[in-house]
Amino acid sequence: MLRLLCCICIIAYFAVGCSEDKRTAPTYSDTTPPAAVHNLATAPAAEDRVTIYWTAPGDDGAVGQASHYDIRYSATPITEVFWDSATIVVSCPAPVSSGHIQHVEVLGLGLGKWYFGLKTADEVPNWSELSNIANATIGDTIAPSAISDLYIFSFDETSATLVWTAPGDDGDIGQAAEYDLRYAFETISEETWAVANRVQDVPAPEAADTGEIFTFADLETGRAYFVAIKTLDDRSNASGLSNVVSVTPAQDNLPPGQVLDLNTTHAVGHSVTLTWTAPGDNGYAGLAFEYDLRYSQTQITNDSWNEATRILDVSPPGVAGNEESFIVHDLELETPYFFALKTADDTSNWSEMSNVADAITVALAQLTFSNRLAGAFHSFWSLDGRDILFEADYGQEFVYQLYRMPANGGVPSKLTNEPGQASQGAWAPDGNQISFLTTGFGLNELRMVDAAQGSVSSLLLRHEEHRIQDYSWSPDGNYIVYTAHPPDQWDQRRAYILSLSGGATEEILSPDWLPIWVAWSPSGDQICFTSTQNENVDIWVMSSTGEDPTQITFDSAYDGAQAWSPDGSKIAFTSDRTGNYAIWVMSASGENMTQLTFDDEQELYPHWSPDGKAITYTSGTGPFWRGDIWVLYLE
């Protein structure tokens, strides 16, 4: 019975698949299509081609080996509805066994974004469903950023001046290729952009973040204009629409707003720092044209305005609301001053006079206010006298880095980020570089950093494994004198001169002198140093070649940490000859000694201003000797 059933099944099979009736097409039993590909992906595009990858499906679902592929691409997303309109990839590979990775390179593609889809067929053919859609981009498709700060700088009866900040080629990076500036007589949107009027002869964009200005001319007086802008890169990728501004050309009679918050923040020595908020071109909007800042030793009023002294080098106003500041120099010591300002637009509409700010210049002032255990040390003036360099542990207690601040005080800015300590900073004679000592993490080097940028330093000097203690530049910048000693061997301290032109390092003082605090004279022919010879700390002067050392202080107290005056006629130094460390000054020959500071604190490390009118120093007290920078004006 079982054999009979098997025979019947075999006969039935051949009766269906192999009909003797030649007029009837054979009927296939395979109705299972290949599985749809779900991991179609693209490799990074290059030039005019894209490589796409996928895992081969089977003949029946995911089993077996399919017969052929239909791969297509389009510049618009591919769906079943738009499948027939997509372009066929001619050189498709034949399917391999299911589960294996396959790929094909699609050539001849233009710039832009492309979409790819795939279907698979068996030998019937039964077609799979559409794969996932992969995409790839050829060329630059990143548009410039949309401008968000377009505004009216000024206007008159027939023109308006526009200002904005340049975006980049790709977002806010690089340099775009073209501006598309348009105007209309009603507000502009993306929907109405195409019908707005394009302005001709707009200059090409500058580098990203550059201020742009353009005068839009031949306008009709009294008519409202709405203006917006887009930016294009060299691939014609367009930014989004900018903010929209409007202007009605007319005679500009509206003055800038009145400054009401003029304030003095630092009144030290011969300078005073002023701060205020910028008004606008028209009231408190836009960008004004100029400031008229004046000062007087008597109260300033509208009636006495013309008698006050005008300051000529004030920078132009920033955008309305900008925080402005200016340092007034060349004032007299210990003198009251009054300050006021007016603001004008580009058509000479002047604001009302600001509030009056006042200050008294002081001869002695604290410049830093440390809250760390160690604080700030070793001040050094810039060559132009506008800034002061110092070291401080503001970031981490007892880990010093270099900082700079305005010479009359203000917020310090950090210059170095050394892995160890950065100390004894000094401007190089050319004014472009700053030198400093760095120690810690096995380092003891003299390094250089850019005076303007700071941060990344370069090596200037390393003395074997010795510890460099202090140093000084020659006035011409060709030599450095320094002291150094082997680790933990202070009694082996020596002084050396290094030629920066490549000469050998020369020892000029032996350990017999125990030299420290070397300082090159402004004339370049002498070097002064502190010596602990004979168990007494005194100041000596010798020739710049190390010859003829001459002692110029003889007190049994500590005399050291000296600094030459800019003209070389005087030497400032630290001494405890009155029982407390204080700043003293004497002639270059050691005569006419005068004590300058009389506080209870300990005062060290004097340094002269370039004009010789002031001395900065470190003053400190307490169990950990917290230091701060002070300035004393002598004249």
Separation between Cα atoms, residue 505 and residue 461, nearest integer Å: 10
Please report which confidence band the pLDDT of residue 371 belongs to, taking 50, 70 and 90 as the band edges.
confident
pLDDT band at 396 (very low <50, low <70, confident <90, very high): low
CATH number at residue 398: 2.120.10.30
Q: How confident is the model at residue 25 (pLDDT cuts 50, 70, 90)?
A: very low
- Whether residues 225 and 344 share a domain: the answer is no
Largest CA distance in the chain: 138
Quick one: CA dihedral 318, 330, 610, 616, positive or negative? Answer: negative
The last residue of one of the domains, among 214, 247, 280, is 247
Closest C-alpha to 601, from 622, 623, 585, 575? 622
Same domain? 236 vs 158: yes
Instruction: Give the pLDDT score at 3.
Output: 41
More confident residue, 369 or 95: 95
pLDDT of residue 571: 96
Instruction: Give the percent of the chain with pLDDT over 90.
Output: 67
Backbone φ, ψ for residue 515 (5° rounding):
-75, 150
Per the model's pLDDT, the better-predicted residue between 384 and 138 turns out to be 384
Residue bearing the bigger pLDDT, 611 or 7: 611
549 lies in the same domain as 427: yes
Cα distances from 621 to residues 377, 378, 627, in angstroms, run: 13, 15, 7
Q: What is the pLDDT of residues 259-284, one digit of tens each?
A: 999 999 889 889 999 999 999 988 89
Distance CA 237, CA 418 (A): 44
389 pLDDT more than 80: yes
Q: Is the pLDDT score of 622 beyond 70?
A: no
My answer on whether 487 and 438 are in the same domain is yes
C-alpha distance from residue 331 to each of 271, 311, 354, 596 (Å):
6, 12, 21, 22
- Which of 570, 592, 615 terminates a domain? The answer is 570
β-sheet with 538-543: strand ranges across: 515-520, 526-531, 538-543, 550-551
The continuous run of DSSP H or E covering 220 comes out as none
Residue 438 lies in a domain: yes
pLDDT tens, residue by residue, 558-583: 999 999 999 999 999 999 998 899 99
Structure tokens at 197: 């009027």
Neighbours of 420 (CB within 10 A): 17
Q: Show which of 300, 327, 360 is a domain's final residue.
A: 360
Q: Convert the pLDDT of each residue in 471-480 to its tens digit.
A: 999 999 999 9
Residue 338 has pLDDT above 80, yes or no: yes
* Residue 252 covered by a domain: no
Average pLDDT in the chain: 89
Same domain, 432 and 556: yes
* 125 cis-preceded (ω within 30 degrees of 0): yes
DSSP state of 555: -
Per residue in 296-317, pLDDT (tens digit) is: 999 999 999 999 999 999 999 9
Residues 494-504: what's their mean pLDDT? 88
Cα torsion angle, 489, 491, 492, 495, sign: positive
CA distance 519 to 541: 9
CATH number of the domain encompassing residue 75: 2.60.40.10
Determine whether 81 is exposed, middle or buried from the number of CB atoms within 10 Å of its CB (0-12, 13-18, 19+).
exposed
Q: Give 8's pLDDT tier (boundaries 50, 70, 90).
A: very low
Query: Is the same domain home to 353 and 268?
Result: yes
Distance CA 455, CA 466 (A): 25
Q: Is 76 inside any structural domain?
A: yes
Domain of 304 in residue numbering reads as: 263-360
Overall domain count for the chain = 4
Inside any domain, residue 10: no
Q: Are residues 564 and 416 in the same domain?
A: yes
What mean pLDDT do residues 511-537 have? 91
108 within a domain of the structure (yes/no): yes
Give the pair of three-digit tokens for residue 523. Answer: 């004339």
Q: Taking 90 as the threshold, does the pLDDT of residue 112 lie above it?
A: no
